[in-house]
Homo-oligomer: A and B are copies of this chain.
Amino acid sequence: MARIAVDVMGTDQGPAEIVAGAVLAAEAGHDVVLVGREEVVEPDLNAIGADLPVVHAPEVVEMHDHPAKAVRDKPDSSVLTAARLVASHGADALVSAGSTGAAIAAASIVIGRIKGVLRPAIATPIPRPGKPVLLLDAGANLEVRPVHLLQFGVMGAQLAEIVYGIERPRVGLLNIGAERAKGRDVERSAFELLEEAPVNFVGNLEGGDIIGEVADVFVTDGFTGNVALKTIEAAAGLVARLIGRAFERLPEEVLPHIAAPMNEIREVIDPARYGGAHLVGTSASVVICHGSSSRRAIFNAIRLATEGVKGGLIERLEHGLVRS
């Protein structure tokens, strides 16, 4: 069984939404333990009429707190308490929708890295029709060396296979053109490393390919990855909004016909479809959610974390990593 420690505090939506997502997951058979301020979490649970184990953590890391400082100054915060629960095997994985920086810091300090991993990376699933594409790093490492990109490729491929069920995932290097000489020094060297790596490397790919059908895993530094990710979300959102606005002027009898296909598309591009992103490279599964996660997103993040644990993601990463 996979027990998931859910950090309930410090999100944009408030604890009640996270608790509701955890309850949905428990009802679906997931093993969940909530970590947060008892006096907040218990009433939220009672309000739904649900009963889940709660581990009390009196302190809260807020979104505006400096991550490293908060981890130092608030040892009894929910995110650190949840990380300690995982480190002491009281839980198998951590899900947090609080400050991303604090979750990374807590995981690095308390849970630690898999032996051989130089830098854990955020592997964000980007929705597209069918299976998602994984983009890593999506913001944990703003500047990287070629060997980091190599490891991101290896870890991303294993994550794609185990958690997302993508067979023989195609790994692409995010670049500004297809030829092997394209890009900065870091991309040119990473190209050579990935070519020799035990992954299905498909070469250099461009920004426009991310949501295409040519690769399942995109490897890049955390600065570029973060910009690309936010750009995709916003561009898809803008077009969807433009269309919504244009349709407001349509005759009323047409609207019922349009509702179903529009909802289908919203479903495809909805970030809540996956709920969270694995931080790959830590010694236990860590899933980081958006600060504004809905209960559905939290439910899906718990599902992702469970898939990772049940699929033996950490063991696979431990054995499958290229030693460097």
Q: A interface vs B, CB < 8 Å?
A: 128-129, 139, 142-143, 174, 176, 183-184, 206-212, 220, 222-224, 226-236, 238-240, 242-243, 246-247, 249-251, 254, 257-258, 261-262, 264-265, 268-269
Asked if B224 and A227 make an inter-chain contact with CB atoms under 8 angstroms apart, the answer reads yes
Identify A243's interface contact among B227, B228, B254, B261, CB under 8 A.
B261
CB nearest neighbor in B for A231 = B207
- Which of A139, A226, A238 has the largest number of chain B CB atoms within 10 A? A238
- Hey, which chain B residues are within 8 Å of A238, CB to CB? 128, 211, 236
- Hey, which chain B residues are within 8 Å of A246, CB to CB? 261-262, 264-265
A262–B250 Cα distance when bound, in Å, is: 11
Identify A242's interface contact among B143, B222, B230, B265, CB under 8 A.
B265
Asked if A231 and B258 make an inter-chain contact with CB atoms under 8 angstroms apart, the answer reads no
Asked if A212 and B234 make an inter-chain contact with CB atoms under 8 angstroms apart, the answer reads yes
Asked if B230 and A232 make an inter-chain contact with CB atoms under 8 angstroms apart, the answer reads no
Main secondary structure of the interface of A (DSSP, over half): helix
Asked if A211 and B234 make an inter-chain contact with CB atoms under 8 angstroms apart, the answer reads yes
Asked if A143 and B184 make an inter-chain contact with CB atoms under 8 angstroms apart, the answer reads yes
Asked if A234 and B247 make an inter-chain contact with CB atoms under 8 angstroms apart, the answer reads no
Known: A176-B223, A206-B227. 16 other contacts (CB 8 A): A142-B176, A176-B222, A206-B226, A207-B230, A211-B238, A224-B224, A224-B227, A231-B232, A239-B240, A239-B269, A243-B261, A243-B265, A246-B264, A254-B254, A254-B258, A258-B258
- Which of A174, A176, A209 has the largest number of chain B CB atoms within 10 A? A176
- Which of A232, A247, A265 has the largest number of chain B CB atoms within 10 A? A232
CB nearest neighbor in B for A179 = B64
Asked if A228 and B228 make an inter-chain contact with CB atoms under 8 angstroms apart, the answer reads yes
A226–B231 Cα distance when bound, in Å, is: 12
Min Cβ gap A185→B in Å is 9
CB nearest neighbor in B for A257 = B254
Contact A208 B228, CB 8 Å, known A176-B139, A223-B176 = no
Asked if A210 and B234 make an inter-chain contact with CB atoms under 8 angstroms apart, the answer reads yes
A95–B207 Cα distance when bound, in Å, is: 25
- Hey, which chain B residues are within 8 Å of A220, CB to CB? 227
Identify A208's interface contact among B207, B209, B231, CB under 8 A.
B231
- Hey, which chain B residues are within 8 Å of A212, CB to CB? 234
